[in-house]
Structure 1
Amino acid sequence: MSSRGVRHDSMRARNLAVVLDAIHRTGPHTRAALAERTGLTKTTVSSLVADLLEAGVVSEGGAVRGGERGRPGVAVSLSGRRVATLGLEVNIDYLAACVVDLTRAVRLRRTRPADNRNSDPAEVLGLLRDLARETTDAAAADGLRVMGAALAVPGTVEDGVLRSAPHLGWRDVRVAGLAGDLPLAVDNEANLAALGELWFGSREADFLYVSGEIGIGAGLVVGGALFRGTYGLAGELGHVVVVPDGPACRCGGRGCLEVYAGQDALLGPLKSVTELVERLEAGEPRALEACARAGDALGVALTSAVHLLDPGRIVLGGVYAPLFPWLGGPVTDGLGARLAPMRGTPPPLVVSGIGADAAVLGAAGLVIQRVLADPAQTLGL
Structure 2
Amino acid sequence: MRARNLAVVLATIHRSGPHTRAELAERTGLTKTTVSSLVADLIEAGAVSESGAVQKGERGRPGMAVSLSGHRVAALGLEINIDYLAACVVDLTRTVRLRRTRPADNRNSDPAAILEGLRVLAKEITAEAEAAGLRVIGAALAVPGTVEGGMLRSAPHLGWRDVRVDGLVELPVTIDNEANLAALGELWFGSRESDFLYVSGEIGIGAGLVVDGAVFRGTFGLAGELGHVVVVPDGPACRCGGRGCLEVYAGQDTLLGELGSVGELVTRLESGDPGAARTCERAGHALGVALTSAVHLLDPGRIVLGGIYAPLYRWLEGPVSDGLGARLAQMRGTPPALVVSRTGPDAAVLGAAGSVIQSVIADPAQLLGL
TM, length-normalised to structure 1: 0.96
Shift of 1:62: 1.2
Distance 2:369 2:61 in 1: 35
Of 9, 19, 26, which residue of structure 1 is paired with 2:9?
Answer: 19
Distance 1:67 1:12 in 2: 31
Shift of 1:64: 2.6
Shift of 1:270: 0.6
Shift of 1:378: 4.5
Distance 2:161 2:187 in 1: 29
Which residue of 1 is the match for residue 121 of structure 2? Answer: 131
Which residue of 2 is the match for residue 267 of structure 1? Answer: 256
Which residue of 2 is the match for residue 7 of structure 1? Answer: none
Distance 1:197 1:30 in 2: 30
Shift of 1:377: 2.2
Corresponding pairs, count: 370
Shift of 1:67: 9.2
Q: Find out whether 1:188 has 2:183 as its counterpart.
A: no
Of 86, 95, 108, which residue of structure 1 is paired with 2:85?
Answer: 95
Can you list the C-alpha shifts for 1:326-375, whole angstroms capped at 9, x where unaligned? 00111001100110011111000000001000000000000000001011
Can you list the C-alpha shifts for 1:208-246, whole angstroms capped at 9, x where unaligned? 000000000000001111100010000000000000000
Which residue of 1 is the match for residue 332 of structure 2? Answer: 343
Of 31, 34, 44, which residue of structure 1 is paired with 2:24?
Answer: 34
Distance 1:67 1:87 in 2: 43
Shift of 1:71: 3.8
Can you list the C-alpha shifts for 1:4-24, whole angstroms capped at 9, x where unaligned? xxxxxxx11001001101111
Q: Is the 8 A contact 2:45 2:367 kept in 1?
A: no
Shift of 1:72: 2.9
Distance 1:233 1:68 in 2: 57
Which residue of 1 is the match for residue 218 of structure 2? Answer: 229
Aligned-residue RMSD, C-alpha: 1.1
Distance 2:339 2:333 in 1: 18
- Counterpart mapping for 1:159-178 below 5 A: 159-178=149-168
Distance 1:234 1:64 in 2: 47
Which residue of 2 is the match for residue 3 of structure 1? Answer: none
Which residue of 1 is the match for residue 198 of structure 2? Answer: 209
TM, length-normalised to structure 2: 0.99
Can you list the C-alpha shifts for 1:44-64, whole angstroms capped at 9, x where unaligned? 111110011011110000123
SS at match of 1:20: helix
Shift of 1:65: 4.6
Distance 1:319 1:201 in 2: 16
Identity %: 82
The AA in structure 1 aligned to 2:103 is P
Of 120, 125, 148, which residue of structure 2 is paired with 1:158?
Answer: 148
Q: Find out whether 1:83 has 2:73 as its counterpart.
A: yes
Which residue of 1 is the match for residue 275 of structure 2? Answer: 286
SS at match of 1:322: coil
Distance 1:363 1:126 in 2: 19
SS at match of 1:221: strand
Distance 1:209 1:67, change over 3 A: farther
Distance 1:379 1:245, change over 3 A: farther
Can you list the C-alpha shifts for 1:261-287, whole angstroms capped at 9, x where unaligned? 000010011110000000000000010
Of 293, 298, 319, which residue of structure 1 is paired with 2:287?
Answer: 298
